């Protein structure tokens, strides 16, 4: 490519995440979910009709139907023709997504999980504040969404040194953890891995991607993979639903 040639346009695959705002039906799904969680709508109880909810919330009936569809997919309600909609499940309390703190644990994919490649952008720089490693000239940006049992539980921005990307099989983008993508490259040394977790609230993008209410609790995990000379060969910013995450640290 000549020096004056334009940079290739970002390559996009899969379902793009909308940025303009949180859909109304997702906000309503969060509201209705909180009513179940708090017991306002009790187990086995018939909830208000679509028409009643639409009037209460000032939205179209189709918007209410979409929000109730999310709760039904999550097993929280069941809609019966000519009978109404009933609460049939409770808010998930089991924390199944273990955040590993050891190197080999970070290489393992979640059991039963699927990885969706949402977007792929070539030759980008890392704009996030980086706490570890020497930033390289260009990275491949992979935005990936992780699913389990038909529900998204994590959205991740993965940055891999552009000089290494052609040595990773395309199929690995939707089958391997971010760290394993670089760890499996022959001749590449992963000399150090750092991981930082913070607890926060879902922003617009996380709310849309993870199908959860805005400002719901999330766990953000930043992972850094450093090469033998201290170069940052991979950086991952992952946002997890807080209701599925468990962190266990063995102190002795």
The predicted-structure confidence for 6-18, as pLDDT tens digits, reads as follows 444 444 333 333 3
Q: What is the pLDDT of residue 53?
A: 95
pLDDT at residue 168 is higher than 70: yes
pLDDT at residue 163 is higher than 80: yes
Which residues are CB-neighbours of 85 under 8 A, at least 6 positions away? 46, 47, 49, 68, 77, 78, 79
Encoding tokens for residue 85? 């909609």
Closest CA to 166 of 147, 188, 135, 146: 188
Can you tell me the distance from the alpha carbon of 120 to that of 142, in angstroms, rounded to the nearest whole number? 5
Encoding tokens for residue 145? 């969404």
Closest CA to 55 of 45, 67, 64: 64
% of the chain at pLDDT higher than 90: 54
Q: What is the pLDDT of residue 252?
A: 56
Q: What is the pLDDT of residue 141?
A: 98
Domains identified in the chain and CATH numbers: 24-87 (1.10.10.10), 97-247 (3.40.1410.10)
Over residues 39-47, mean pLDDT: 91
Average pLDDT, the chain: 85
Question: For 140-155, how does the pLDDT look when each residue is reduced to its tens digit (9 = 90+)?
Answer: 999 999 999 888 999 9
Confidence of residue 95 (pLDDT cuts 50, 70, 90): low
Q: Which helix (H) or strand (E) holds 125?
A: none
Confidence of residue 211 (pLDDT cuts 50, 70, 90): confident
Closest CA to 154 of 245, 84, 76: 245
Q: What is the pLDDT of residue 117?
A: 97
Q: What is the pLDDT of residue 46?
A: 95
pLDDT at residue 199 is higher than 50: yes
Choice among 98-102, 184-188, 204-208 with the minimum mean pLDDT: 98-102
């Amino acid at each position: 490519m000549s020096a004056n040639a334009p940079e290739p346009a970002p390559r996009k695959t899969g379902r793009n995440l909308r940025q303009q705002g949180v859909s109304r039906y997702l906000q309503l799904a969060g509201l209705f979910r909180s009513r179940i969680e708090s017991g306002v709508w009790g187990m086995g109880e018939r909830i208000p009709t679509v028409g009643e909810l639409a009037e209460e919330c000032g939205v179209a009936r189709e918007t209410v139907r979409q929000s109730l569809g999310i709760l039904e997919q999550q097993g929280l309600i069941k809609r019966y023709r000519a009978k109404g909609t009933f609460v049939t499940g409770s808010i998930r309390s089991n924390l199944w997504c273990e955040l590993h703190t050891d190197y080999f644990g970070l290489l393992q994919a979640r059991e039963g999980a699927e990885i969706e490649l949402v977007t792929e952008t070539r030759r980008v720089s890392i704009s996030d504040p980086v706490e570890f490693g020497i930033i390289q000239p260009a990275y491949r940006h992979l935005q990936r969404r992780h699913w389990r049992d038909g529900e998204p539980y994590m959205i991740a921005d993965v940055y891999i040194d552009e000089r290494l990307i052609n040595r990773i099989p395309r199929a690995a983008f939707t089958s391997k953890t971010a760290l394993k993508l670089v760890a499996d490259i022959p001749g590449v040394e992963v000399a150090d891995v750092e991981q930082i977790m913070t607890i926060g609230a879902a922003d617009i993008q996380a709310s849309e991607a993870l199908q959860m209410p805005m400002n719901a609790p999330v766990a953000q995990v930043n992972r850094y993979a450093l090469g033998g000379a201290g170069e940052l060969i991979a950086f991952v910013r992952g946002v997890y639903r807080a209701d599925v995450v468990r962190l266990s640290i063995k102190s002795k």
